[in-house]
Structure 1
């Protein structure tokens, strides 16, 4: 694999530089050929680099004056952190070619706002989407959008599907990924007009996609399809619900094990099973949402993760950068435009037909 430079927002996340440097160390152990371009407050980051020669030896550090707060509004972050914040400069490094991808655990709204201003959306794409890996019974699936676009129309949902399948081909190595639209039922008569119209467009076009049709909420965990497409409002709620359910199950297990002596004995015999369950349900292992639809790569790490979770986000960043995901999405969008012509007109026809 060619050497890849990853720009890191050293000040993002709930715990800031400590998690970023710990994650960079764990990722570099797995991938010794990667390099880091780290932006942040010298007073906070330099001592961590001095204590970690592995990361320091693979990094270039740039001091920044401003750190975007986790509670900052996107407009406020743009005004205060434009060109001077660690978040802005990490994304700008992708635009200028100093890095192939940027990773931040910072404020999602601010990160998306800055990414859109700096990188701009790709041709033929109206709205970006956040795509994340989701653990399933069969392995993993990709779910998008996880919070970037609220209330997309049929045309934008089709664009999400094309971007999602390109990502799936990169991550899963599948030539024709299966794609499903998240809905309240599998019947064609159910759902909003935009979802039903998007389904009709995907059925009618001969795209390099194996369109499954509608999927329901429980199909996400089943791994029914490789890519689940939904709007950012629904996707973000589904993600947070899944994370909360995982913590709830873990709480019940701990509570049950501590309830009696025999339960503790049973845990000792089934320790490997419980460890496997813990690993499969650990959100840190699938951390890292990719911003799709921009002229450059940005990966969002969960703000409350630890070093292991941040390293997982770096792993995702490395994979999409090495696979040249932006170029693959652009190629697939060109195919979509050739097949559909004016996608807006197709979407309007289908929405009128299902209304």
Structure 2
């Protein structure tokens, strides 16, 4: 089977063309069946490819000089969708020249271009931004929405749950991923009207390939007790940045503590295997690659500051979702949601998880 190409916006991101190409080359070694469409300045891309002959032999270059600025307004960038590296990468998916697009550029511009070019899938009102977060469980936890929609109604949240569960089945291998709604408490009486109504709909829905487990508070997101956390984009973006900030705080605190004295430095040498494992787990590059779910095509957003390893992870996410045909999985689940047959298992949180607030 010939797999579709992955279009890479080589000009997006803070670290430049070299990092984007190096990341794509690393991903190519992991998924050597994939071909690439590298979009951007041809001269700079060819220079970067000199160090990666394997990627060069599996790639085509689509030249353009125009680049979306990191602080550019999405509406302004949208008018240049046909001339920028970001816009051309997304358009390659629309035209069928690529199966997925990966960019580390302006998130707002990427979302605007993706929505305009690819449109939302039938049965989806709004696309959502989903990402993998580390957890204490055997697999990562998927969280959505992370900023694409600041306000959501119950219907949006139910659709996010369906899309997140489809993504989770690929990542976790679970036939019925555990899904929870982010809330200020786990009791059924808590939450906004939208969250309350979404929970009720998920409890009553039938035939969905997910297990709805009620509500979850933000401090339990990474505990490994759930596979998918669903929320509006405003709450999700704040929660995500709080988690990332806490991770950086722990890392910096350990660095300061271990360099404060000779005794501390000796202690660091003794505990280095454990601290290296912690550093690996908290490094955002190892979980890089957020997906715009709900579009008629795959678009993956890489952190603008991602290293080559981070870019490789974002490209790997695109490759894996293409291999497992995420878009078709979501379409099938949405059809089941409309049909409303079977039963979704609803389970109440354990007593120890119920907040006393």
Contact kept, 8 Å, 1:101 with 1:317, in 2: the verdict is: yes
Q: SS of the residue aligned with 1:327?
A: helix
Greater share of residues in helix: 1
Contact kept, 8 Å, 1:130 with 1:147, in 2: the verdict is: yes
- Per-residue deviation at 1:4? 4.0
- Per-residue deviation at 1:275? 0.7
Distance in 1 separating the partners of 2:32 and 2:210: 35
Deviations 1:129-153 (Å, cap 9, x if unpaired)? 0110010111311000011111100
Deviations 1:32-57 (Å, cap 9, x if unpaired)? 22211000012322211233222211
TM value normalised by structure 2: 0.93
Contact kept, 8 Å, 1:4 with 1:318, in 2: the verdict is: no
- State the partner residue of 1:265: 266
- State the partner residue of 1:150: 150
| Runs of 4+ deviating beyond 2 Å | 1-4
Answering whether residue 339 of structure 2 is matched by residue 338 of structure 1, we say yes
Distance in 2 separating the partners of 1:221 and 1:122: 30
- Per-residue deviation at 1:31? 2.0
Any residues of structure 2 matched to 1:3-82 within 5 Å, and which? Answer: 3-79=3-79, 81-82=80-81
Contact kept, 8 Å, 2:38 with 2:59, in 1: the verdict is: yes
Deviates more, 1:198-207 or 1:22-31: 22-31
Q: SS of the residue aligned with 2:221?
A: helix
Distance in 1 separating the partners of 2:248 and 2:224: 21
Unaligned runs of 5+ in 2: 342-357
Distance in 2 separating the partners of 1:235 and 1:55: 36
Distance in 2 separating the partners of 1:190 and 1:306: 41
Contact kept, 8 Å, 1:4 with 1:33, in 2: the verdict is: no
- State the partner residue of 1:101: 100
Distance in 2 separating the partners of 1:260 and 1:58: 51
- Per-residue deviation at 1:256? 0.5
- State the partner residue of 1:293: 294
Contact kept, 8 Å, 1:10 with 1:45, in 2: the verdict is: yes
Question: Matched residue pairs, number?
Answer: 339
RMSD over aligned Cα, in angstroms? Answer: 1.2
Q: SS of the residue aligned with 1:213?
A: strand
Deviations 1:205-245 (Å, cap 9, x if unpaired)? 12221000000001101122100000111111111111111
- Per-residue deviation at 1:339? 1.4
Contact kept, 8 Å, 1:137 with 1:221, in 2: the verdict is: yes
- State the partner residue of 1:169: 169
- State the partner residue of 2:204: 204
Unaligned runs of 5+ in 1: 341-355
Contact kept, 8 Å, 1:90 with 1:102, in 2: the verdict is: yes
Q: SS of the residue aligned with 1:221?
A: coil
- Per-residue deviation at 1:328? 0.6
